[in-house]
Each structure stands twice: as C-alpha cells, then as structure tokens.
Amino acid sequence: MENYNCIIIEDEPLAAEILQEYIGNVPFLNLKNTYTDALAALEDLRTDDVDLIFLDLNLPKLKGFDFIKTLKNPPHIIITTAYHEYALQGYELDVVDYLLKPIEFSRFLKAVNKLKMINSKKSYASPVFIPPGNSYMFVNTSKKKVKLYFNEILYIESFKEYIKIFTADKMIVTKYQVGLIEENLPKGDFLRIHRSFIVAKERIEAFSSTEIQIGGKQLPIGRSYKEIVGNLLESISRTG
C-alpha cells in the first residue's frame, strides 16, 4: 500500500484537531506536521517530503489560494474550508478535493480515497526506453522518441505525473514516475536528493547541508535524504 506524508495548514485549533484525528484513522496517511499559517510551512515544503496538504483558505498572512500559487512544484492538495463559493477556483488550481466544514469522516475518507484512485490511474507504460548496457536512453516527447545520453543530463525534476530532464541546452518533459527513472539510471552516476530531484554526481558544482548547485540552479536536499546525501558528498569532496 502506498503511503502519503501529509501536513495540515489550519489556524482553527478545533478544525486542526479533527483533521489530526481523521488522519490518524487512515492507515496510508502519515501526518508530519501541523501549521497555523502557510508561511510557516514554506521552508518545510521546500526541503521536506510532503505528498499531501490539507489546506484551509482563510489563513493569516497568506491566504490559501495565494499560497498554492507560490508553489513551484506543489504536492497534492485537499482544501478544507467553510466557504463553498471558492470551489471552482480550487478545481482550476487542480486540487484533489474541496471539503466543506464541518467535515464528516465519511466525506474526508472519500477525498483521500480519491487521491489513491488518481494515482492508481496513472500510466507509466514505456515513455522511456533504456537499452541494457548502453550509455543512452530514448524518451517519448512531443510524439517522437528523443535519444538522450546519460552524460548530458544535469538533473531530473518530478512534476506530478511527469518528469523534466534538464541538460545544458534543453529540457525534455515526459510522462513518467521519478522512482522508475531512478531505478533504471546507471548505478553510481546519479543521486536522489529529494522526492522531486535526481542529480548527476559529476555535474555537481557546489553543495551545502541543505542545497546542491548544478547547472547554476540551487536544488533542495530533502530532509529524509539529508544524511545519506551529506555523507556521500563529503566522501566525494575528500577524494575529488
């Protein structure tokens, strides 16, 4: 069973408490944190492994929809609110579901099961073909197969059901799961640093405890990857 790491962003203590209880009753949900405003969650979202946000709309400092628009690569989002009139705007932002308070557990369960259904319908059939033992792969994009050498790749970014493959002079987008591409890349040449990022080790320009610089871009190191990535990079810097 696939599990989902989730956070709650809710400034009403009672509403947050109810969501915490509901999440605790669903085996495939893992609550990582609860926040009373969206700004407090931004740093964790940048570096952490969050699959799902339960998001109130009427928040202090930064409103819910404005918060969604700040996220470059948002996780799945379920809106929890007392205001029904914003439902259309929510679906335009591709939220999983829109729950009206007070939220019954049966309605909550329907929303999170909808998330599992969305993921189960994703098709990852053969958009990437990697010949065994070769130094390249073929990637389906724009109705054609593009040959891409592994040593061209700077990093790979996951975006919902798609991946973006970045090289020095182009970006290729294809419908594929980042975990599957990770399994098929040459062992030892690439490093998973975040739920959304895989980097080419030889292309790393600089790094800190929280970020890696590659191709002039600053990429975050996920919290659950921090120890293994840090140890490996320190080992590389000592021998390099």
Q: DSSP characters for 144-191?
A: EEEEEEGGGEEEEEEETTEEEEEESS-EEEEE--HHHHHHHSPTTTEE
Same domain, 8 and 116: yes
List, for residues 71-99, the tens digit of each pLDDT value.
877 889 999 999 888 887 877 788 888 99
Number of domains in the chain: 2
Q: What is the pLDDT of residue 131?
A: 62
Same domain, 115 and 180: no
Same domain, 17 and 44: yes
pLDDT at 219 over 80: yes
What's the CATH code of the domain at 68?
Answer: 3.40.50.2300
Top-ranked range on mean pLDDT: pick from 45-49, 121-125, 176-180, 216-220 = 216-220
Q: Which of 63, 92, 120 is at the close of a domain?
A: 120
Read off the tokens for 130. Answer: 């990697």
Same domain, 172 and 132: yes
Q: What is the pLDDT of residue 46?
A: 74
Q: Which of 60, 86, 120 is at the close of a domain?
A: 120
Q: Which of 96, 120, 144 is at the close of a domain?
A: 120
Same domain, 149 and 232: yes
Q: What is the pLDDT of residue 47?
A: 65
Residue numbers of the domain that contains 195:
128-239
What DSSP character marks residue 69?
Answer: H
Pairing of strands 52-55, 97-100: unpaired
Same domain, 66 and 102: yes
Give CA separation, 171 vs 139, 154, 158, 203, 236, in Å: 12, 10, 13, 16, 27
pLDDT confidence bin for 192, thresholds 50/70/90: very high
